[in-house]
Chain A
Amino acid sequence: MPKRSFFPSFFIFIILSVLFIFLSKTGILNGPASLIAKIASPIEKISFGFSSSTNKDNSIVAENKQLIKKLVDFQKMATENSALRDQFETTSPASQNLLPANVVSASSFIPGISSPEYLVIDKGKKDGIKTGMAVVFKDNLLGKITEISDSLSRVILVSNPSISFSAKTISIKGEPGASALGIISGMGGQDMILGNVLLSDTLAVGDYVTTKGDLQVDNAGFPPSIIIGKITSVEKKASDLFQRAKVKSLLDFSKLSTVFVVLSQ
């Protein structure tokens, strides 16, 4: 190849790429991009299906999740009843409007071994999804929508290091109704840290952590009482201002093929 003959090709395609960035920002490319996404969606599903077909959830794990959900619901009801009796607060669990979506991609470092960094689902703006909406699976929090196109959305997982939000604990082993407030931060994989918990609050290994609820008027944010995970270890020092706990999600993010977007509470 003669020297410098690649310069015209480089300039043409670098200018085209920059032009595409500007057009993409203006939204002109949404239509063609949506069409390409639709065409590629079946191929993506096949490709993702190959990697996840060997990782199907077994019945014991599914049953365990159901029992944990019942346990958390029971604890929640007990707390609510107690609160109602005392006339301090009343809550009425509202039905959630969930939109089922198929996972079309879940890229991870080593597929099947490491947890994915994010998920792409086959629902987008056209289906009423907005940035910030929560994504759940069997009452377990999965993450939130960060990017949307007309027919696809990207879900940042709850264990992603860039995510943090308020959470509360539900005591299973300790006194019923006791709960601690804190901030959940992602640690990668399936792990999270529940930090900023007052030393006077009780944290115990085996307690469940749920969302505190931070819904906004446009339904972006997390609804209350969605299970985030289970406390696996507690770090408490008398000299520190706060205590913290390591939390592990009950979901194996790499095994999910269908998830649910919380459209409204």
Chain B
Amino acid sequence: MREKIFPILFIILVTFLEITVTTLPLIIGTFILLTVVFRQNWIFVAAFLTGIIFDILTIRTIGTTSTFLVFMVFLIFLYQNKFEIQTIHFVFVSTTIASVLFLVFLGFSSVILQALLVGVVTTVLFGLLSFYLKSSL
């Protein structure tokens, strides 16, 4: 349980940032990062609850963002059965593609630029996290 506290706090922080301050799809980057690193079923629960809160506070049809996030996590899990997902290339490409789809789905502008920025940030975080996990072992 202790290992989940930091990721949960991170999800809460990112969700409120995306709701109130920025249109950058930080939630997408966060969930891809967590799925790739942890690969555990609790991420489905977190994705579902985050989507519900996001929809309520941004006044969208409740459940739409949850559907998107749960399906995205599912696709990554599905992909890991055939390929290696803990690579920088996978994190960057999947975050960028998912961010583009999410921004189009929400109807925002500057889609490509925002998606690329989140892709880069998520990849850097993944690199740092991988380095930290390797060095702590």
Contact = CB atoms under 8 A, between A and B. Distances in A.
B20 A44 contact: yes
Interface of A: 1, 3-6, 9-10, 12-14, 16-25, 29, 33, 36-37, 40, 43-44, 47-48, 50-51, 104-111, 116-117, 120, 147-149, 152-154, 161-162, 188
Tier of interface size on chain B: 35 or more
18 contacts: A1-B40, A6-B77, A9-B41, A14-B74, A17-B48, A24-B55, A36-B56, A40-B57, A105-B20, A105-B21, A107-B20, A108-B21, A109-B109, A109-B113, A116-B23, A120-B59, A152-B57, A154-B59
A37 to B, nearest CB: 6
A53 B24 CA distance: 20
Interface string B90-109: 00000000000000000111
Nearest to B24: A109
A78 to B, nearest CB: 39
B125 interface: no
B16 A10 contact: no
Contacts of B51: 17
Contact of A117 (B17, B63, B81, B109): B109
Contact of B77 (A10, A17, A37, A108): A10
Contact of B81 (A3, A14, A37, A51): A3
Given A10-B44, A10-B70, A117 B62 contact: no
Point out which of A13, A20, A21 has the most chain B C-beta atoms below 10 A from its C-beta: A13
A122 B48 CA distance: 25
Interface of B is mostly: helix
Contacts, number: 130
B19 interface: yes
B53 interface: yes
Contacts of A36: 53, 56-57
Nearest to A154: B59
Nearest to B70: A13
Contacts of A109: 22-24, 109-110, 113-114
A1 B23 CA distance: 34
B87 interface: no
A29 to B, nearest CB: 5
B59 A13 contact: no
